[in-house]
């Protein structure tokens, strides 16, 4: 099963996952990937993208990530990668992958797009409104999965081709997939993960990469 995926499943030798390392919780993602026995690298430039099979856009500040990517000329390369290869956006990363974003800062922000969804950028308010809960995501795990929300966005609506993986309520969707793209409003990398069997979302993303490589 996806959930029992670990280093012995053959991912470690053949798969390299990059984590965008401009800002945010990139080190935490890398630690989980290493626990799964997968080669993980920090991604900061175009050449890094050429070495990886899949990319994680971490939580952090989506406006800052967008501005830095734009100023360094990295945005077109990122956009090209995410349009073709497996990419997972968590929290701020989800915002970057959305086609439509509500509550943007004045002047808007640079987006990668690709997910046919409307995301409310700061739906859960300030850091004071951060919370932890258990999510039912049958596609990902047969057991409820712990999830940490920090000033989190929410997916208000999805369009054609988007699969809803889990939601807090009908209008509060928190995880979606559209083909090679995955988006979560919460931070799976911040949940204490002591063994590979607890890395539900990272394992799910590795399975997406595996399917994409074999298609």
Residue 154, φ and ψ in degrees, nearest 5: -140, 150
Q: How far apart are CA 29 and CA 42, in angstroms?
A: 10
**Residues ≥6 apart with Cβ < 8 Å to 1:** none
Is 154 in contact with 186 (CB distance < 8 Å)?
A: no
Catalytic residues: 91, 187, 189
Angle at alpha carbon of residue 89, lines to 143 and 204, rounded to 5°: 35
Residue 103, φ and ψ in degrees, nearest 5: 75, 30
SS3 145: strand
Q: Please state whether beta strands 54-57 and 98-102 pair in parallel, antiparallel, or not at all (unpaired).
A: unpaired
Q: Give the residue ranges of DSSP H helices in 15-74.
A: 26-35, 46-49, 62-71
């Amino acid at each position: 099963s996806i959930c029992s995926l670990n280093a012995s499943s053959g991912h470690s030798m053949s798969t390299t996952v990059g984590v965008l390392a401009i800002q945010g919780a990139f080190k935490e993602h890398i630690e989980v990937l290493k626990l799964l026995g997968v080669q993980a690298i920090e991604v900061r430039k175009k050449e890094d993208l050429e070495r990886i099979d899949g990319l994680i856009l971490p939580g952090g500040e989506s406006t800052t990530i967008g501005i830095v990517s734009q100023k360094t000329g990295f945005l077109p390369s990122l956009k090209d990668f995410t349009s073709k290869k497996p990419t997972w956006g968590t929290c701020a990363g989800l915002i970057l992958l959305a086609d439509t974003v509500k509550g943007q800062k004045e002047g808007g922000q640079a987006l990668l797009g690709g997910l046919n969804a409307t995301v409310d950028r700061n739906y859960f308010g300030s850091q004071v409104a951060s919370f932890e809960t258990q999510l039912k995501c049958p596609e990902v795990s047969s057991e409820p999965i712990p999830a940490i929300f920090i000033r989190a966005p929410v997916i208000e609506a999805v369009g054609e081709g988007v699969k809803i993986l889990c939601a807090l309520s009908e209008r509060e969707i928190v995880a979606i997939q559209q083909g090679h793209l995955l988006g979560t409003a919460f931070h799976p990398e911040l949940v204490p993960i002591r063994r590979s069997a607890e890395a539900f979302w990272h394992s799910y993303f590795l399975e997406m990469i595996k399917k994409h490589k074999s298609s």
